[in-house]
C-alpha cells in the first residue's frame, strides 16, 4: 500500500498487542541508533495495527540460492553472509544500550524457564511426533546438563538476543542487510544468534565457510565491544558455541514438528532432514558434546536411521530408481536397460574442460584437484543449477504417479572429468533430497554404485 506521501509501506494487523508493542519499541529503538531495521511509520491507538517501511522483495535466503542448492557459495554470496553477521554484532551490542527489557515478548531474558520451554517443544512436538520409542528420564538428564551449559544468568548478559536470526528474516536493500521479525528478541548470549544463522537447516552452509564467517563475526564483535571496554574472550566464546548449536537445533526441530506434523505445512516438513543432518554432524565433530549429552547423541543416530521423519506429506519414493550415467560421447549414448526408452541426456561439453591441462589428464571428476578446478571456475555449478530444477520436478512427478524408473545421463568428451563430476553430484543430491534409490554408473571409469 502507499501512504499520503506516495511511498510504499507495509501495513501490519497484529493479533497480540504485547507482541506488537515489542516489535514497535524494538524497531524504533534500533532505528534511533542507526541499526538496519525497517522504520515504523504509524501506529494505531490500540496498537493492533501499524505501518512500516517497505524494504523491497529480496530476502537473503533467495540471494544465496546458488550456494544453498549446490553447497558451493559464490563470492558475492559469501560477502552477503559476512556482511549480515557483521551487522548482527552491532544489533546485539549497540541495540542493547539503554534498552527497556520489560517490553520483550513473552519474556525479558533467556532464562532457565524459557530454555526448558524450547527443550519441551522438541520433546513433545517433534520427538513424540516421530513415533520413536525413547527414555524420558535419560533425555531429561541431558536436558539438565544443556540448561546448565547455555543458561547464563541474565544479569551476566548485556546483549540483545535476536532469537530467530536466519536468512529468511534478512531483507536486502541496495545490497545491505536489514533485519526483520525480531519481536521475540530478549536479553541473552550472542552465540545463540550465530548458531541460528549459520546452522539454518536449508541454508546448507558448509563447515569451512561457517568457520570463516565466525572469525569475521568475532572480529566485528570485538570491535563493537571495545567501545564499552568489555571484549569477549574468543576461545571461551568458541568453546560454548557447539552447545548453543545443539540447543538451537533442538528448538527448530520442535518448531518443524509442530508446523509440519500438526499444522501440516510442507515447508517445515521439508526442513526436518537438513536439521537432523546438522544434529548428526554436530555430534560427530565434537566428542565433548557426545560425552556431555550421550542420550541426545544416541537419539540423533536413531533418528537418522529412521526411514522417514518428515511426515506423510513428503512424496513417497516407493519403488522409483533413478539411474545416473556419466559417459563419453565418442562411445555413444548409454542404453536404458529398464525398457523405459531413456530419459534426460545432458551435454557437459559447453563447460570448461580440465582435461585440457596436463596436471588433470590422469585424474577424474572424483578427485579433489578436479573438483576444485571445476567449482572455482563455476561454469559447472551454473550448469547443474538448471539440471537440478529439471530433474527435481521429474522425480517429484514420478513419485506422485508411482513410476519406477528414470534415467539421467551426462556426457562429455572423454567421460572422465565434467560428466563424472556432474553425475556424482546429481546422484548425491537426489538421494539426500528425496530418499530415492539411485543407481550411479560412471561408464568409462567402470564404477557402479547404489545409493539405497
Same domain, 195 and 225: yes
Instruction: Count structural domains, the chain.
Output: 3
Instruction: Please check whether residue 264 lies inside any domain of the structure.
Output: yes
Same domain, 49 and 104: no
Instruction: Please check whether residue 447 lies inside any domain of the structure.
Output: yes
Question: Do strands 49-53 and 9-13 pair parallel, antiparallel, or not at all (unpaired)?
Answer: antiparallel
Same domain, 364 and 218: no
pLDDT at residue 8 in the model: 86
Which residue's C-alpha cell is 527497556?
Answer: 100
Instruction: Please check whether residue 278 lies inside any domain of the structure.
Output: yes
Q: CA geometry: angle at 355 spanning 351 and 356, to 5°? A: 90
**In sequence order, what are the beta bridge partners of 408?**
324, 344
Q: Which three cell numbers stand for residue 112?
A: 532457565
Instruction: Please check whether residue 175 lies inside any domain of the structure.
Output: yes
187-212: pLDDT as tens digits? 999 999 999 999 999 999 999 999 99
**Closest C-alpha to 327, from 451, 425, 422:** 422
Same domain, 274 and 407: no
The last residue of one of the domains, among 270, 305, 340, is 305
Asked whether the predicted pLDDT for residue 42 surpasses 70, the reply is: yes
Confidence of residue 259 (pLDDT cuts 50, 70, 90): confident
Region of poorest pLDDT, from 151-165, 170-184, 307-321, 383-397: 307-321
**In sequence order, what are the beta bridge partners of 53?**
9
Residue 393 phi/psi, 5-degree rounding, is -60, -40
81-110: pLDDT as tens digits? 999 999 999 999 999 999 999 999 999 999
Instruction: Please check whether residue 312 lies inside any domain of the structure.
Output: no
Same domain, 111 and 253: yes
Asked whether the predicted pLDDT for residue 14 surpasses 90, the reply is: no
Mean pLDDT along residues 172-192: 96
Same domain, 93 and 17: no
The last residue of one of the domains, among 18, 34, 54, is 54
Same domain, 109 and 239: yes
Provide, rounded to the nearest whole percent, the portion of the chain with pLDDT above 70: 93
68-84: pLDDT as tens digits? 988 899 999 999 999 99
Same domain, 424 and 282: no
CA distances from 394 to 78, 320, 340, 343, 406 (A): 31, 12, 14, 10, 8
Tell me if 414 sits within 8 A of 328, measured CB to CB.
Answer: yes
pLDDT at residue 295 in the model: 97
Instruction: Please check whether residue 311 lies inside any domain of the structure.
Output: no
Domain containing residue 29 = 1-54
Instruction: Please check whether residue 331 lies inside any domain of the structure.
Output: yes
**In sequence order, what are the beta bridge partners of 12?**
50
Same domain, 278 and 419: no
Confidence of residue 270 (pLDDT cuts 50, 70, 90): confident
pLDDT at residue 1 in the model: 66
The last residue of one of the domains, among 259, 274, 305, is 305
Same domain, 300 and 381: no
Same domain, 332 and 195: no
Provide, rounded to the nearest whole percent, the portion of the chain with pLDDT above 90: 77
Distance CA 80, CA 94 (A): 21
3 state SS of 229 = coil
Asked whether the predicted pLDDT for residue 318 surpasses 70, the reply is: no
Asked whether the predicted pLDDT for residue 22 surpasses 70, the reply is: yes
pLDDT at residue 314 in the model: 47
pLDDT at residue 328 in the model: 96
Same domain, 191 and 287: yes
User: Average pLDDT over the chain, rounded to whole?
Assistant: 91
Instruction: Please check whether residue 315 lies inside any domain of the structure.
Output: no
Distance CA 429, CA 214 (A): 27
Amino acid at each position: 500500500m502507499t501512504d499520503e506521501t506516495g511511498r510504499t509501506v507495509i501495513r501490519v494487523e497484529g493479533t497480540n498487542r504485547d507482541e506488537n508493542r515489542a516489535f514497535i519499541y524494538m524497531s524504533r529503538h534500533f532505528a534511533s541508533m542507526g541499526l538496519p531495521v525497517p522504520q515504523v511509520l504509524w501506529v494505531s491507538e490500540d496498537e493492533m495495527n501499524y505501518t512500516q517501511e517497505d524494504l523491497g522483495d529480496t530476502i537473503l535466503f533467495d540471494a544465496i540460492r546458488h550456494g544453498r542448492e549446490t553447497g558451493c557459495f559464490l563470492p558475492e554470496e559469501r560477502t552477503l553472509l559476512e556482511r549480515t553477521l557483521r551487522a548482527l554484532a552491532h544489533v546485539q551490542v549497540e541495540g542493547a544500550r539503554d534498552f527497556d527489557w520489560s517490553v520483550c515478548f513473552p519474556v525479558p531474558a533467556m532464562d532457565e524457564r524459557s530454555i526448558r520451554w524450547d527443550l519441551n517443544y522438541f520433546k513433545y512436538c517433534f520427538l513424540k511426533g516421530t513415533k520413536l520409542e525413547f527414555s524420558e528420564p535419560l533425555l531429561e538428564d541431558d536436558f539438565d546438563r544443556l540448561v546448565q551449559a547455555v543458561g547464563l544468568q541474565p544479569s551476566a548478559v548485556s546483549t540483545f538476543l535476536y532469537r530467530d536470526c536466519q536468512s529468511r528474516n534478512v531483507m536486502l536493500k541496495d545490497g545491505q542487510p536489514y533485519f526483520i521479525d525480531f519481536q521475540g528478541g530478549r536479553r541473552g548470549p550472542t552465540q545463540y544468534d550465530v548458531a541460528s544463522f549459520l546452522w539454518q537447516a536449508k541454508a546448507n552452509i558448509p563447515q569451512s565457510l561457517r568457520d570463516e564467517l565466525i572469525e569475521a563475526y568475532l572480529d566485528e564483535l570485538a570491535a563493537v565491544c571495545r567501545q564499552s571496554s568489555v571484549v569477549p574472550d574468543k576461545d571461551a566464546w568458541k568453546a560454548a558455541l557447539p552447545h548453543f548449536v545443539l540447543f538451537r537445533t533442538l528448538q527448530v526441530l520442535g518448531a518443524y514438528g509442530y508446523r509440519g506434523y500438526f499444522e501440516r505445512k510442507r515447508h517445515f516438513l521439508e526442513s526436518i532432514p537438513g536439521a537432523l543432518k546438522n544434529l548428526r554432524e554436530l555430534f560427530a565433530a565434537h566428542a565433548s558434546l557426545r560425552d556431555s549429552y550421550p542420550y541426545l547423541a544416541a537419539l540423533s543416530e536413531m533418528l537418522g536411521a529412521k526411514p522417514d521423519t518428515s511426515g506423510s506429506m513428503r512424496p513417497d519414493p516407493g519403488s522409483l530408481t533413478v539411474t545416473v550415467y556419466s559417459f563419453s560421447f565418442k562411445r555413444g549414448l548409454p542404453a536404458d536397460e529398464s525398457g523405459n526408452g531413456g530419459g534426460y541426456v545432458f551435454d557437459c561439453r559447453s563447460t570448461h574442460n580440465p582435461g585440457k591441462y596436463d596436471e588433470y589428464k590422469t585424474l577424474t571428476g572424483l578427485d579433489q584437484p578436479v573438483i576444485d578446478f571445476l567449482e572455482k571456475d563455476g561454469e559447472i555449478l551454473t550448469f547443474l543449477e538448471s539440471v537440478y530444477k529439471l530433474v527435481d520436478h521429474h522425480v517429484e512427478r514420478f513419485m506422485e504417479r508411482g513410476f519406477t524408473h528414470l534415467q539421467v545421463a551426462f556426457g562429455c568428451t572423454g567421460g572422465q572429468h565434467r560428466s563424472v563430476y556432474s553425475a556424482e553430484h546429481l546422484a548425491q543430491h537426489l538421494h539426500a533430497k528425496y530418499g530415492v534409490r539411485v543407481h550411479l554408473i560412471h561408464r568409462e571409469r567402470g564404477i557402479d554404485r547404489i545409493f539405497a
